[in-house]
Amino acid sequence: MKRVFLILICLSLNSSFVFKPRVSAPSPIQPHPSPSQLDWQHLEYYAFIHFGMNTFTDHEWGEGRAHPDTFNPTSLDCRQWARVVRDAGMKGIIITAKHHDGFCLWPSSTTTYSVKNSKWRGGKGDVLRELSDACREYGLKFGVYISPWDRNHPLYGTPVYNRVYKDQWREVLTSYGDVFEAWLDGANDQKKRMVYDFSGFFQTIRKYQARAVIFSDAGPDIRWVGNEKGFAGETNWSPRDNEGTFPGFADEKALNTGEEDGTSWIPAECDVSIRPGWFYHSTDDDKVKSVAQLMEIYYGSVGRNANLLLNIGVDRRGLVNEHDIARLIEFKIAREEALKTNLARGRATASNFRGNDTQFSPTRALDGRPETYWATDDGVKKAWLEIDFGREIEFNRFLAQENIALGQRVKRFSVAIWRDERYETIAQQTTIGYKRILVFPVARTRKLRIVIEDSKASPTITNIEIFRAPGD
């Protein structure tokens, strides 16, 4: 009888151990990204392509007066664009399907000012068809910019034009497959002032491509970073308080930094051109940005919780120019060399991890799996994670990522190295977000700490990487 009783007790204890509930994950904080916004953030780097009537008139802002026959690329090859973009390490292309001059790169029924009335391909050409097909072939996302400003359309400036513009989006969004980003701005004619129906524009895009993210100065999904230089603020929150804002109304300082207590999730996109202008001009062939400039932009955009939209102006042949191709590949090689070998290996410890449960231990920030992360107990907003490399290493790049699916949390953090038997802070910054990359002179150490100095809620660090980039 005693033996049976003891067996029952052991089974009971074993059962309690086996079925003990695991520690729950941190609850998301508001706001946080939608699945489409999260997919967009993972792209990090993709191409803007400015190509159209301005390419042939040598303008940046055309007036909509050039004859349709002026548009006549002699060797247009969208497969070449896609191949270059893919080889450069970019994940997609957004094309200027219609710029301010009003010329449409697809045979639109909404206007006479389009490829259908040009001599190119005998009026049967369709740049969007060729590009969307090429993007699918090369595994790239396809995106579209349609300018609301139209300097050619006779109805521009009247309420009826809003219907025209919605129809242009309908045509594009129902004819060329999936569109990952719908890009529009608030450009407006200063003489013929147009009152745009932005709410209706957004509803139209949502109706035909619900998973496409919408970019404008004010979102609703992706915001302009507030400049065309490619740099997000050193503090960059994805949340924004978007009430009362609209495309064309740009508080550049607020757009550059976001807002810690913003009520809407509207992350920043950094648009910048590889040349001085957006469209191709042969006089700029020797003015392509240097690799050093592009690396600085990369660290100031992707490395500051934003995505990088790098513009390429396709030339009059209808090809990405050789000067641009060479620089794009050099830029890719420089990025790969700078972030080549991750040195974040060793014994990881932390001042706190959630419920002392291994699923939230500091090693989760080093395992290379985006779905795992180090997290602290609820209410613990200050903590540190230490890596003991077991030997002395040299490094000059530090990368950290939050699990932004649960919201952006870190308000302030620092990096410290073990030197002369004590920790010495070598870098101190504010936000992390999806990705933060710090650049500093070469440091040598056997141990490193990332110190979360303040956070909106328990921090969730999904990735830490350390590199020794060439030079410096």
CA distances from 190 to 187, 193, 195, 461 (A): 9, 6, 12, 48
Whether 106 and 211 share a structural domain: yes
Nearest to 295 by CA among 338, 326, 238: 338
Is residue 8 in some structural domain?
Answer: no
Would 25 be classed as within a structural domain? no
Q: What is the pLDDT of residue 278?
A: 98
Kindly state whether residue 230 falls inside one of the protein's structural domains: yes
pLDDT of residue 104: 98
Q: What DSSP assignment string belongs to 255-269? A: HHH--TT-SEE--EE
The residues, ordered by sequence, that sit 6+ positions from 134 with a Cβ below 8 Å of its Cβ are: 78, 79, 81, 82, 140
- CA 167 to chain CA mean position, Å: 28
As a residue count, the chain comes to 472
Residues 385 and 253 in one domain: no
The reply to whether 82 and 231 lie within a common domain is yes
Distance CA 167, CA 205 (A): 10
pLDDT tens digits for 375-407?
999 999 999 999 999 999 999 999 999 999 999
Q: Same domain for 236 and 354?
A: no
CATH of the domain at 134: 3.20.20.80
pLDDT of residue 14: 45
Which is nearest to 369 in space by CA: 464, 238, 467, 466?
A: 464
Q: Is residue 472 part of a domain?
A: no
Whether residues 312 and 455 fall in one domain: no
Structure tokens belonging to residue 185? 């701005």
pLDDT along the chain (472 residues), means of 10: 41 43 90 98 98 98 97 98 98 98 98 98 98 98 98 96 98 98 92 91 98 95 96 97 76 93 97 98 98 98 98 98 98 98 97 97 96 97 98 98 98 97 97 98 97 98 98 76
Per-residue pLDDT, 192? 82
Residue 7 lies in a domain: no
Whole-angstrom distance, CA of residue 366 vs CA of residue 369: 8
| Alpha helical stretches, state H, 138-209 | 160-173, 198-208
- CATH of residue 451's domain is 2.60.120.260
| Domain shared by 372 and 412, yes or no | yes
The CA distance from 357 to 360, in Å, is: 6
Residue 170 lies in a domain: yes
| Residues near 363 by beta carbon (within 8 Å), at least 6 away in sequence | 348, 374
Among residues 338, 368, 397, which one ends one of the domains? 338
23 falls within a domain: no
Does 364 share its domain with 216?
no
pLDDT at residue number 12: 44
d(CA 248, CA 315): 29
Q: What is the DSSP letter of 367?
A: S
Are 321 and 356 found together in one domain? no
Residues 439 and 308 in one domain: no
Three-state SS for 430-454 is: CCCCCCEEEEEEEEEEEEEEEEEEE
Residues 297, 391, single domain; the answer is no
pLDDT value of position 21? 57
328 is in which domain, residue-wise? 35-338
Tens-place pLDDT, residues 245-279:
778 777 889 999 999 999 999 999 999 999 999 99
CB of 449 closer than 8 Å to CB of 415: yes
Q: Where are the alpha helices (DSSP H) in 51-197?
A: 53-57, 78-87, 127-137, 160-173
- Separation between Cα atoms, residue 141 and residue 454, nearest integer Å: 37
Last residue of a domain, one of 307, 338, 369: 338
| Residue 418 within a domain | yes
Residues 147 and 221 reside in one and the same domain:
yes
Angle between helices 160-173 and 198-208 (to 10 degrees): 20
Are 91 and 158 part of one and the same domain? yes
Q: Which of 338, 372, 391 is the last residue of a domain?
A: 338
Look at residue 20 in the predicted model and tell me its pLDDT.
47
Domain count, the chain: 2
